[in-house]
Amino acid sequence: MLHKTAAIVLRTVKYGETSLVATLFTEKFGLQTYMINGIRATKAKNIKGPMFQPGAQLIMEVYHQPQKNMQRIKECSWKVIYQHLFSHVIKNSVALFMVELLQRALKQPEENELLFAFMSDALLHLDKASIAATANYPLFFALNLPHFFGFELKPISNKSIPSNIQNENFLSHQPGALLGIDGKNEELLNDLLSVRMPEELEIFKISSSTRNLLLNKIILYYQQHIADFGELRTLPILRKILA
């Protein structure tokens, strides 16, 4: 059967001389793999290669058979045309980090409209973000993504602190303790977790060393909660770009 669905490109691998195997996060079917024949041919028609850059947002008409590991695309068009995401080096590096982080967190081909909406919106905000906000965007995204996978980090407020502050069980479940950070970095973490709109990231003046420290701790947190998470290929590049 034919189905129409929005999709976000996560990864592509060349197949043969003219084809691609694409991993996409779809709104209707979750994580899916598609064989796209002839897309790299000189006379490719409806489906063009530039559409399948990581982070691209598409509208597709697809053949979907649940029992198969690889699906096919009939037609495809742009859902979103970014202004800066593919051309701006820093923004593109952040987008690649976000896409890889999402792909490594996704394990099953299950529909998740809320997660899809979050990812779609996060990419749109990144495209429009200021340079100051863009530098802090990896932290914002990495801290909010766990909400959809059952190991979210919650900011601590004065109201949530029990009268007996020595309550070890309470303290051990605070974000700073879970990530293994304390002092000023713990305060910064709590402030970042309290951010609701990406535009708020502009106010944070974070050094590259502090940013790297926090990102390392957050990725370790992912590795502790997601089996076979592995090492992010995009993280060393991101560190250099944001140095």
Q: Please indicate, yes or no, if residue 212 is contained in any of the structural domains.
A: yes
Residue among 144, 117, 150 nearest 200 (CA): 144
Q: Please indicate, yes or no, if residue 199 is contained in any of the structural domains.
A: yes
Residues 145 and 167 in one domain: yes
Residues 124 and 188 in one domain: yes
pLDDT at 208 > cutoff 90:
yes
47 is in which domain, residue-wise? Answer: 2-78
Burial class (CB in 10 A: 0-12, 13-18, 19+), 81: exposed
Q: Please indicate, yes or no, if residue 123 is contained in any of the structural domains.
A: yes
Long-range (24+ apart) CB contacts under 8 A made by 166-170 are none
> Which pLDDT band holds residue 166 (cuts at 50, 70, 90)?
low
Residues 41 and 111 in one domain: no
C-alpha–C-alpha distance, residues 84 and 213, integer Å = 28
Choose the final residue of a domain: 54, 78, 102: 78
Q: What would the mean pLDDT of 207-221 be, rounded to a whole number? A: 95
Residues 26 and 146 in one domain: no
C-alpha–C-alpha distance, residues 194 and 213, integer Å = 19
CATH number at residue 49: 2.40.50.140
Q: Please indicate, yes or no, if residue 84 is contained in any of the structural domains.
A: no
Write down the H helix ranges in 153-203. 168-172, 175-179, 183-193
CATH number at residue 159: 1.20.1440
Tokens 């899809």 found at: 116
Q: How far is CA 51 from the centre of its chain?
A: 18
pLDDT at 170 > cutoff 50:
no
Q: Please indicate, yes or no, if residue 83 is contained in any of the structural domains.
A: no
pLDDT at 171 > cutoff 80:
no
Distances (CA, A) of 229 to 52, 111, 178, 226: 24, 21, 18, 6
pTM of the model: 0.90
Choose the final residue of a domain: 58, 78, 98: 78
